[in-house]
């Protein structure tokens, strides 16, 4: 890379990394920019989605298409798909934003009490003040209480809670701490394939090493320890794998891990000296009978002090998913377990550079973990809204699986949880041979012909020679039915066309 010699240091500054003059006289070009950033890929907002936005504009401008609207089933964005916000949450947020409303008798007392409590924890009683970098103290206490309740009384320490700008922010921050070494000692990060591309993108950006382990599609996207072992062994040949990332319930795969599986993973991490990252943002999104959400924290502590005093674990949650779907607020938290105190001090220092997560997102996170209790005036409405949303999601999960499995050439695992199906599609030989990226080609054609916007499986990773797409289950039931039937039709046509 630094092959040319520095005759004059002055000259070097006018040259790009490989010694060429900067193109067009620009200081910053793709040749002279951060090489890691170039490697970053994020399909959930990639070319298909960009084309979808274009098509929407064309439709608005009156361009004739074989459809009337674009249905964006590419991203877990509940409100954009018509889901209504939880009334209580928005009431409290409005009260926090404009405290003059505290005198308004249109707002229930429990909403006012929540708002008053949050405001009292804010500098100058305003959510316009910076909060402490780790997050508002009372919110961190409420998060700890929530975790303790959720996990059957296993204690949670507010000092271990860090509020974040969505879960993504927390995940990137922890990966950043963990990235070290050079060459064969460079940190390897084990991620599932298929994965949520935030992981691959952050690993690329940080220059860490992506270590793939494959989920077992035949066994409903379950996680096999033997595959973890294979993947780890292979990685140790060329890097230092130190982190194991788990998404449960799964994104994009929709599986819910059994308690046994989680125990096995923890045992594996302990044996192999791996740092565990548990992405649990879909913890309320469990639909399939017999499935239940088990937090890594809870299982870890139930395994006894041999594990609970040793295994390093960070778990992530968010305001963006579950029944609330408040993505725009960028709220989230992480709980760090068994983190070296000196590293924790470094973490606290690191987050302080960005000052604080958005205060409205923190307040909203508080409401999620401290929702209306039985007996409070807002309890019934809250429960009604929450239940309605989760039941509809469960129904749509089932519907998606059922209809997709009626299509020859599409095989869909049960959507046990989360918000996505990730079916395997059989593509005709000619399409595979002609297209550079057959699943991308398939999804682009689908978009152009039907207005349905999905993400090709390649954006998440898939076993070579297999093809998938990710589709959210979020469109309203009637629209989802139309979408699924259009998809069925398209798939049959596509198969004929390229056979």
> Any idea what DSSP says for residue 441?
H
- Smallest gap from residue 33 Cβ to a second copy (A): 5
Nearer to a second copy, 135 or 457 (CB): 135
Nearer to a second copy, 156 or 200 (CB): 200
> Any idea what DSSP says for residue 7?
S
Nearer to a second copy, 198 or 256 (CB): 198
Phi/psi zone of residue 239: left (φ > 0), alpha (ψ -120 to 50 degrees), beta? beta
Which of 354, 373, 430, 493 touches a second copy by CB under 8 A? 354
Position 489 contacts a second copy (CB under 8 A): no
- Smallest gap from residue 240 Cβ to a second copy (A): 5
Position 338 contacts a second copy (CB under 8 A): yes
- Total number of residues binding a second copy (CB under 8 A)? 117
How far is it, in rounded angstroms, from Cα 64 to Cα 72? Answer: 19
Tokens of 253: 């795969």
Position 304 contacts a second copy (CB under 8 A): no
Position 384 contacts a second copy (CB under 8 A): no
- Smallest gap from residue 456 Cβ to a second copy (A): 16
Position 20 contacts a second copy (CB under 8 A): no
Footprint on residues 359-378 left by a second copy (CB under 8 A):
359-361
Tokens of 75: 């991203």
Position 1 contacts a second copy (CB under 8 A): yes
Which of 51, 65, 90, 411 touches a second copy by CB under 8 A? 90
How far is it, in rounded angstroms, from Cα 164 to Cα 365? Answer: 10
- Smallest gap from residue 130 Cβ to a second copy (A): 5
Which of 13, 105, 120, 496 touches a second copy by CB under 8 A? 13
Written as one string, the DSSP assignment of 350-382 is HHHHT--S-HHHHHHHHHHHTPPPTTSTTHHHH
Position 273 contacts a second copy (CB under 8 A): yes
Nearer to a second copy, 243 or 397 (CB): 243
Position 7 contacts a second copy (CB under 8 A): no
Tokens of 260: 């046994």
Residue 85 · residue 91 · CB < 8 Å: no
User: Nearest-CA neighbor of 454 among 473, 469, 437?
Assistant: 469
- Smallest gap from residue 172 Cβ to a second copy (A): 8
- Smallest gap from residue 309 Cβ to a second copy (A): 10
User: Nearest-CA neighbor of 469 among 452, 457, 451?
Assistant: 457
Position 282 contacts a second copy (CB under 8 A): no
Position 349 contacts a second copy (CB under 8 A): yes
Q: Which residues of 478-491 are buried (b: 16+ CB within 10 A; e: fewer)?
A: eebeebbebbbebb
- Smallest gap from residue 313 Cβ to a second copy (A): 11
How far is it, in rounded angstroms, from Cα 187 to Cα 182? Answer: 8
Tokens of 237: 């040949």
127 phi/psi in degrees, rounded to 5: -75, 5
Stretch that binds a second copy, among 60-68, 156-164, 196-204, 366-374 (CB under 8 A): 196-204
209 phi/psi in degrees, rounded to 5: -110, 125
How far is it, in rounded angstroms, from Cα 368 to Cα 171? Answer: 20
Largest Cα span, the chain: 79
Which of 194, 254, 325, 332 touches a second copy by CB under 8 A? 325
189 phi/psi in degrees, rounded to 5: -115, 115
Position 42 contacts a second copy (CB under 8 A): yes
Footprint on residues 136-195 left by a second copy (CB under 8 A):
165-166, 168-169, 172, 176-185
Footprint on residues 409-468 left by a second copy (CB under 8 A):
none
Residue 400 · residue 471 · CB < 8 Å: yes
- Smallest gap from residue 226 Cβ to a second copy (A): 17
């Amino acid at each position: 890379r630094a092959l040319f010699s520095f005759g004059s240091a002055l000259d070097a500054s006018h040259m790009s990394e490989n010694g060429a003059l900067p193109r067009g006289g620009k200081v910053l070009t793709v040749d002279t920019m951060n090489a890691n950033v170039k490697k970053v890929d994020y399909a959930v907002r990639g070319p298909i989605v960009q084309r979808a936005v274009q098509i929407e504009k064309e439709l608005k401008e009156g361009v004739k298409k074989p459809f009337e609207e674009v249905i964006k089933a590419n991203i877990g964005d509940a409100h954009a798909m018509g889901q209504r916000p939880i009334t209580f949450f928005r009431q409290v947020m409005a009260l926090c934003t404009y405290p003059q409303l505290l005198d308004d008798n249109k707002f229930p007392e429990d909403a006012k009490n929540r708002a008053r409590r949050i405001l009292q924890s804010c500098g100058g009683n305003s959510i316009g003040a910076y909060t402490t970098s780790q997050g508002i103290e009372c919110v961190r206490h409420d998060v700890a209480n929530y975790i303790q309740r959720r996990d059957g009384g296993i204690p949670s320490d507010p000092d271990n809670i860090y509020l974040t700008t969505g879960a993504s922010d927390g995940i990137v921050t922890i990966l950043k701490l963990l990235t070290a070494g050079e060459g064969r000692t460079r940190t390897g990060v084990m991620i599932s394939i298929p994965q949520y591309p935030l992981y691959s993108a952050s690993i690329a950006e940080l220059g860490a090493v992506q270590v793939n382990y494959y989920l077992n599609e035949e066994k409903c996207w379950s996680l096999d320890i033997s595959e973890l072992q294979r993947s780890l062994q292979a990685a140790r040949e060329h890097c230092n794998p130190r982190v194991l990332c788990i998404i449960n319930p799964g994104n994009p795969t929709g599986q819910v891990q059994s308690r046994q599986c989680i125990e096995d993973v923890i045992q594996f991490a302990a044996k192999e000296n791996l740092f565990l990252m548990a992405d649990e943002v879909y913890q309320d999104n469990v639909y399939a009978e017999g499935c239940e959400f088990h937090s890594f924290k809870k299982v870890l502590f139930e395994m006894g002090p041999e594990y609970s005093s040793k295994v390093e674990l960070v778990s992530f949650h968010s305001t963006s998913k579950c029944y609330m779907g408040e993505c725009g607020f960028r709220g989230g938290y992480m709980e760090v377990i068994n983190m070296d105190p000196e590293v924790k001090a470094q973490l606290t220092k690191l987050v302080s550079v960005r000052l604080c997560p958005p205060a409205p997102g923190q307040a909203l996170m508080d409401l999620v973990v401290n929702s209306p209790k039985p007996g409070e005036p807002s309890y019934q409405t809250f429960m009604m809204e929450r239940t309605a949303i989760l039941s509809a999601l469960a129904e749509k999960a089932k519907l998606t699986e059922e209809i997709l499995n009626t299509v020859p050439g599409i095989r869909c695992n049960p959507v046990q949880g989360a918000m996505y199906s990730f079916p395997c599609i059989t593509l005709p030989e000619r399409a595979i041979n002609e297209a550079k990226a057959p699943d991308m080609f398939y999804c682009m054609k689908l978009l152009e012909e039907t207005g349905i916007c999905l993400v090709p499986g390649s954006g998440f990773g898939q076993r070579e020679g297999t093809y998938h797409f990710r589709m959210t289950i979020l469109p309203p039931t009637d629209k989802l039915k139309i979408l699924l039937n259009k998809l069925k039709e398209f798939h049959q046509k596509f198969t004929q066309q390229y056979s």
